[in-house]
C-alpha cells in the first residue's frame, strides 16, 4: 500500500480544486455543482463546503446525482441505487460534475446520460480528485484534477474519508 495523498495533502488539494472552480466561475453565477453518487459525494461535499466559505452560501447550488441505472454494467453487477437530489434547474447552466477517481471514463459517461434527463446545460466540466491517466476506455478528460497518477491495471486507488473510513487519505493498493 502506497499513500498518494495524506490528510494534509488531501485538504490542500480540495482547497486548490475549489479555488480553480471559482477562478473559472467567478461568484458561481449560472454555475452548479453536482457530485456523483456514491463515492464522488464525499469530495463534492468538501468542495461545496469550501466554496461556501469563499462566496455567499446562497450562491453555491449543489446537488447529488445517482447514476445507478445509467451504468453499462448494471446487468453484470448488483448496484444499490442512491438518492438523486438536484433541487434546481440545470437548464443553460454551467455544470461542474465532481467525482473521486477518473478511471475508464464509464462512470462519467453514465453521469452525462443521467444529467441530460434534468435538462440541457450550457456547459459541463469535470472535476476529479484523482485522474488515473492511462486507463481510459472513453475519450473523457477532466477540467480540474487534484492529482494525476500512473498506475497499472492490477492496482486500485482507494479514497478514504473520515466520515466513512475513520481517516482522510488516498492510497494505491
Percent of the chain with pLDDT over 90: 80
Return the minimum-mean-pLDDT range out of 19-28, 87-96, 150-159.
Answer: 150-159
Rounded to whole angstroms, the Cα distance separating 20 from 125 reads 12
* CA-based nearest residue to 51, from 91, 96, 85: 96
Percent of the chain with pLDDT over 70: 95
Summarize the confidence of residues 98-116 as an average pLDDT.
95
Instruction: Give the model's pLDDT for residue 71.
Output: 78
Q: Is 145 helix (H, G, I), strand (E, B) or coil?
A: strand
* Residue 55 CB partners (closer than 8 Å, separation 6+): 22, 27, 28
Predicted confidence band of residue 82 (pLDDT cuts 50, 70, 90): confident
Amino acid at each position: 500500500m502506497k499513500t498518494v495523498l495524506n490528510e494534509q495533502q488531501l485538504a490542500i488539494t480540495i482547497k486548490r480544486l475549489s479555488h480553480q472552480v471559482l477562478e473559472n466561475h467567478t461568484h458561481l453565477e449560472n454555475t452548479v455543482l453536482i457530485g456523483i453518487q456514491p463515492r464522488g459525494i464525499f469530495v463534492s461535499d468538501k468542495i461545496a463546503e469550501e466554496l461556501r466559505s469563499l462566496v455567499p452560501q446562497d450562491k453555491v447550488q449543489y446537488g447529488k446525482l445517482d447514476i445507478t441505472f445509467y451504468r453499462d454494467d448494471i446487468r453484470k453487477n448488483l448496484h444499490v441505487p442512491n438518492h438523486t437530489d438536484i433541487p434546481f434547474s440545470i437548464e443553460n447552466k454551467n455544470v461542474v460534475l465532481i467525482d473521486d477517481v477518473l478511471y475508464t471514463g464509464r462512470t462519467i459517461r453514465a453521469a452525462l446520460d443521467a444529467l441530460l434527463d434534468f435538462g440541457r446545460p450550457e456547459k459541463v466540466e469535470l472535476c476529479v480528485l484523482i485522474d488515473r491517466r492511462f486507463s481510459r476506455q472513453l475519450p473523457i478528460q477532466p477540467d480540474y484534477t487534484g492529482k494525476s497518477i500512473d498506475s497499472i491495471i492490477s492496482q486500485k486507488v482507494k479514497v478514504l474519508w473520515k466520515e466513512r473510513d475513520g481517516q482522510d487519505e488516498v492510497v494505491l493498493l
